[in-house]
């Protein structure tokens, strides 16, 4: 799940090979005092691929609002499919007559294993703000320009493993212009200098977890938060101390799932209010002191099945995303096990009484600043 930069819409990618674009309900956009509860989320746009989507990253400037030329230029998403070039897919709404004439495919990019002349399975993508994007595969990272089909540069590593996540350093980062990346094979975070394209820093191998699945840089540019699969806590690494572990965000309790490899994604609140995450028992938790770089425990903001007493289970929250609008406290949540309980349940709707899967929007309250 990814919000548009202006918080008016969001994108989700599903296991039916579908990409869905949702609009925020009008009562939220209009900042009405009374927001209608239990609005059903219906996709504004659906686009399907012909095979499973390995990874994706929407344009960081996508939005349905603005000048028509800006909408056309920025409303797109990168998707990776197995054994074919990377695709840039159009997300702009089309008239009925346009749908028959125009394909959603805008461009293709060739991320290849040159030695064996085959396309790499891209497991990590990151669409940057300057018309460029990062792509990662097994032992490979490349930087592309969206106007060129071949990489600007292509770095090959020896024993990095499957690249699971790629993040560009913030403008105020103490480490400078670098790329943070992790892998599924090693419980380790690496930092790559974009100028020399050499690894300048590595974290120690973490004892717990089944690989790094997400890396978040703190708003003050001093710390990295390491999110690993099947790990109860989130590690805090100090960029000033060669990625030394200086603290832990405790009591997440996400590892007691039967499926140890299910990915769970957290988010950072925009004004140094902390890290927010969902647990496997339906609780949304916040670590308000995470920016301090010390051990801290979480508080429970709310539980998503408290408003629906008919639910016979504790929903497993797989992703929490904070809306970037500063005057609304809205977060998006995706929840559910990988295996649906009923194939007839709609993944386009919010949480129902019979389904385990869904997307929902929640109004919550947290501190404006630390």
Q: From residue 267, how far is each of 191, 234, 274, 276, 362 by CA, in Å?
A: 21, 12, 9, 5, 15
Of 296, 269, 281, residue with least CA distance to 366: 269
Domain presence at residue 365: yes
Question: Is residue 131 one of the residues assigned to a domain?
Answer: no
Q: Does residue 82 contact residue 121 with C-beta atoms inside 8 Å?
A: yes
284 is a domain residue? yes
Residues belonging to the chain: 370
- Return per-residue pLDDT of the chain as tens, 370 residues: 999 998 989 999 988 899 999 988 777 766 555 555 656 788 989 999 999 999 999 999 998 887 666 667 889 999 999 999 999 999 987 765 455 445 689 999 999 998 888 999 999 999 998 899 999 999 999 999 999 999 999 999 988 889 999 999 988 787 888 999 998 877 889 999 988 999 989 887 776 667 899 999 999 889 999 998 888 899 999 999 999 999 999 988 765 555 556 788 999 988 778 899 998 888 899 999 898 889 999 999 888 876 555 555 567 888 999 998 877 788 999 986 555 444 334 444 333 333 346 888 888 776 544 4
Residue 25 lies in a domain: no
Euclidean distance between CA atoms 276 and 270, whole angstroms: 11
Domain count, the chain: 1
In a domain, 112, yes or no: no
Measure the N-to-C terminal CA separation of the chain; round to a whole number of Å. 26
318: in domain: yes
Residue 265 lies in a domain: yes
In sequence order, the 6+-apart residues with CB closer than 8 A to the CB of 235 are 206, 225, 226, 228, 245, 247, 248, 249
- Whether residue 50 contacts residue 21, with contact meaning beta carbons closer than 8 Å, is answered with no
Domain that holds residue 282: 254-370
Report in angstroms the alpha-carbon separations of 80 from 88, 200, 231, 335. 9, 28, 27, 23
Tokens of 85: 């070039």
Q: Are the CB atoms for 369 and 272 separated by under 8 Å? A: yes
Which pLDDT tens digit goes with each residue over 17-30? 999 999 887 777 66
Note whether residue 308 is domain-resident: yes
Predicted structure pTM score: 0.86
Distance CA 163, CA 121 (A): 10
């Amino acid at each position: 799940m990814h919000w548009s930069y202006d918080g008016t819409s969001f994108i989700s990618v599903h296991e039916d090979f579908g990409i869905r674009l949702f609009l925020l309900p009008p009562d939220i956009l209009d900042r009405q005092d009374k927001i209608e509860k239990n609005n059903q989320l219906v996709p504004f746009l659906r686009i399907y691929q012909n095979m499973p989507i390995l990874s994706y990253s929407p344009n960081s400037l996508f939005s349905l609002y603005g000048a028509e030329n800006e909408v056309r230029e920025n409303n797109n998403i990168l998707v990776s499919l197995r054994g074919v070039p990377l695709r840039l897919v159009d997300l702009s709404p089309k008239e009925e007559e346009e749908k028959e004439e125009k394909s959603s495919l805008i461009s293709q990019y060739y991320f290849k294993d040159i030695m064996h002349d085959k396309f790499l399975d891209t497991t990590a993508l990151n669409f940057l703000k300057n018309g460029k994007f990062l792509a990662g595969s097994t032992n490979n990272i490349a930087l592309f320009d969206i106007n060129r089909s071949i990489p600007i540069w292509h770095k090959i590593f020896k024993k990095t493993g499957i690249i699971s996540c790629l993040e560009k350093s913030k403008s105020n980062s103490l480490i400078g212009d670098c790329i943070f990346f992790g892998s599924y094979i090693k419980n380790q975070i690496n930092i790559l200098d974009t100028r020399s394209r050499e690894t300048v820093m590595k974290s120690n191998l973490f004892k717990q977890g089944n690989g790094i699945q997400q890396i978040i840089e703190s708003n003050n540019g001093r710390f990295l938060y390491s999110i690993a699969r099947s790990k109860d806590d989130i590690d805090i690494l100090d960029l000033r101390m060669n990625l030394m572990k200086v603290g832990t965000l405790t009591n997440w309790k996400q590892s007691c799932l039967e499926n140890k490899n299910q990915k769970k994604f957290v988010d950072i609140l925009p004004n140094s209010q902390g890290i927010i995450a969902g647990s496997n028992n339906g609780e949304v938790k916040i670590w308000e002191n995470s920016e301090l770089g010390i051990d801290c425990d979480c508080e429970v903001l709310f539980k998503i099945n408290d408003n629906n007493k008919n639910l016979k289970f504790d929903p497993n929250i797989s992703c929490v995303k904070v809306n970037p609008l500063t005057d609304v406290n809205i977060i998006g949540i995706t929840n559910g096990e990988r295996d649906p309980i009923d194939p007839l349940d709609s993944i386009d709707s919010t949480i129902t009484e019979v389904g385990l899967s869904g997307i929902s929007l929640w109004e919550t309250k947290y501190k404006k600043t630390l």
